[in-house]
Amino acid sequence: MELDFVRWLTRQPAADPRVAVGIGDDAAVLQIPANRQLVVTTDMLIEGSHFELEHHTAEQIGRKALAVNLSDLAAMAAEPLAAVVSLSLPRSQANSALARGLSSGMTMLAQQFDCPVVGGDTNVAAGPLAVSVTVMGTVESDQGWLRSGAQVGDRLLVTGKLGGSLRGHHLDFTPRVAEALQLARDYQVHAALDLSDGLALDLSRMITASGVGAVVDVPRVPISPAAEQMAHESGKTPTSHALSDGEDFELLLVVAPDEAEKLLAAQPLACGLTDVGEIIAEQQMLQRDALGETAPLAAEGFEHR
């Protein structure tokens, strides 16, 4: 079964020039283009903490395990190169249906994002299902987006719409890789991150990294229909869902004011791009209402267990 899982994962439609040595040797060998840097990110999903096998299909879990990593590559403006996957299957469910489901969810996304799986390892243990994915990408040397590049006066832009991800978006979101590569090619981005833990909490991390502050124009924050729906039941406002729900996997981008103007006029992304605030010198996070009144914005969001 172990061999089968790896074989399913590493099935590739055609020879890939980036993979000098794929599965079958002790390690994979990848070709990195000249003048590019390797970008590496990893994420582990564990049953009981990140998902439940009763509520989520193996395909959904496999897809998400790769998607969250691709979202981190997008946040760096890196182009996917390859992925490796490690599984710990629970002894009680160590059947090929589970492994096959995980693998098919993953390979569909891997093909869509041209990110071949070049290796894997499978173990069977008494514990819960754990899926660990490591994704490698490349970026033109020293051109990767960092969290630390925000400058006073810059605008804050977000892709897509925010909040209510638990309603399903967290399982079927499209990592913003293509959008990031397009923006990196055509525009100057000072800083970026992907929104995994909520706009307020992730923004606090960015301004800390950059040594600046920020004001969020709350009425401008794009609210997803799912956040509107959730607000009917949660007693919270749609806006508070949009500010602090986790797993949006949209991009938060920081750009100079004239670049923001160009971007907002051109609207180059199908998912949309919204100006939600600005970078300020005082190292604090504020929210501004429709009347222009400001109040502190708490760095609250989705804390991973």
- Give contact residues for Mg ion (rule: CB under 5 A): 72, 194
4 a known binding residue? no
Helix and strand counts by DSSP (H, E) for the chain: 9, 13
Return the bridge partners of 278, or none. Answer: 155, 215
Q: How far is the CB of 275 from Mg ion (least distance, A)?
A: 21
Q: How far is the CB of 198 from Mg ion (least distance, A)?
A: 12
Residue located via tokens 């499209």: 174
114 a known binding residue? no
Pick the closer one to Mg ion by CB: 10 or 138. 138
Q: Alpha carbon of 41 to those of 26, 71, 112: distances in Å?
A: 21, 10, 19
Pick the closer one to Mg ion by CB: 89 or 183. 183
Q: What's the per-residue H, E or C state across 152-207? A: CCCEEEEECCECCHHHCHHHHCCCCHHHHHHHHHHCCCCEEEECCCCHHHHHHHHH
50 a known binding residue? yes
The rounded distance, in Å, linking the Cα atoms of 303 and 275 is 25
Query: Phi, psi at residue 271, to the nearest 5°?
Result: -80, -10
Contacts of residue 100, defined as CB under 8 A and 6 or more positions apart, other chains included, come to: 4, 5, 8, 58
Q: How far is the CB of 193 from Mg ion (least distance, A)?
A: 6
Contacts of residue 299, defined as CB under 8 A and 6 or more positions apart, other chains included, come to: 200, 201, 203, 204, 285
Pick the closer one to Mg ion by CB: 196 or 274. 196
Pick the closer one to Mg ion by CB: 194 or 259. 194
Q: How far is the CB of 300 from Mg ion (least distance, A)?
A: 18
174 a known binding residue? no
Pick the closer one to Mg ion by CB: 180 or 263. 180
43 a known binding residue? yes
302 a known binding residue? yes
Q: How far is the CB of 101 from Mg ion (least distance, A)?
A: 26
Structure tokens at 153: 């006066």
Binding residues for Mg(2+): 26, 41-43, 72, 121, 194, 197
Binding residues for ATP: 120-121, 147, 196
Binding residues: 26, 41-43, 50, 72, 120-121, 147, 194, 196-197, 247, 302
Binding residues for substrate: 50, 247, 302
